[in-house]
Amino acid sequence: MFSSKANSIFQDVIASYKVLNSVDQPFQNKYDKDQDLIEHLLFRKCWIDTVQWAYEDIIRDPNIDPGAALRLKRMIDASNQDRTDSVEFIDSYFLEAYKDVQLLPGAKINSESPAWAIDRLSILALKIYHMQLETVREDASQIHQKNCLTKLNTLLEQRIDLSSAIDDLLEDISIGKKYMKVYKQMKMYNDDELNPVLRGTK
């Protein structure tokens, strides 16, 4: 199943990142885009999410230098754009893969594209990883650990359900029961023609 491959790659990404555990470490994709395109895209997608998770932790430091916070905010904005771009690349992969599928009568569109569901699966992998750490944190109370274990079990259940839903969606698309219709994300805040503040600086 596709979700099994995705979940395995996401776990590998997080483990690989945590070896150095630094937002400044170089990125190296384990998959060749010419030979393993979808694996390449999934690996890059989760790496972006993993780095951004760290960014979001750092910027919440109450003692962070204002200048450093502003620089980090710019990095988060750029990361968000990379995240959106990676989702669109994944959807492009599926559009190409299923371009010749003949739609069945009554075929319906899904509320979200496959890649945006996969985006949620990638974020969920990070939530599971970090919540699991909280369940065994030695400086945390037993109550905290117990509460986090309850949350972890919910997240694990959510991964099962979301994985199943993604696999079902891809199966339905592959046989023509559903079809993809992808809308490009129209980010306005970081576009120097659409953001009036940025436009005014030109």
pLDDT in tens, 97-151: 999 999 999 999 999 999 999 999 999 999 999 999 999 999 999 999 999 999 9
Across the chain, which has 202 residues, the per-10-residue mean pLDDT values are: 97 98 96 96 98 96 96 95 95 96 96 96 98 96 97 98 98 97 70 68 57
Please compute, for residue 139, the number of CA atoms within 13 A of its CA located in the half-sphere on the CB side: 0
Predicted TM-score (pTM) of the model is 0.90
At residue 1's C-alpha, the angle toward residues 97 and 79, to 5°, is 65
> End-to-end alpha-carbon separation of the chain, Å?
49
Q: What was the pLDDT predicted at 182?
A: 82
Partner residues linked to 108 by β-bridges: 178
| Alpha-helical runs (H) found in the chain | 2-20, 37-59, 66-97, 114-135, 142-174, 196-200
Q: What was the pLDDT predicted at 185?
A: 67
Q: What was the pLDDT predicted at 183?
A: 78
Q: What was the pLDDT predicted at 14?
A: 98
Neighbours of 81 (CB within 10 A): 16
- Cα 78 to the chain's mean position, in Å? 15
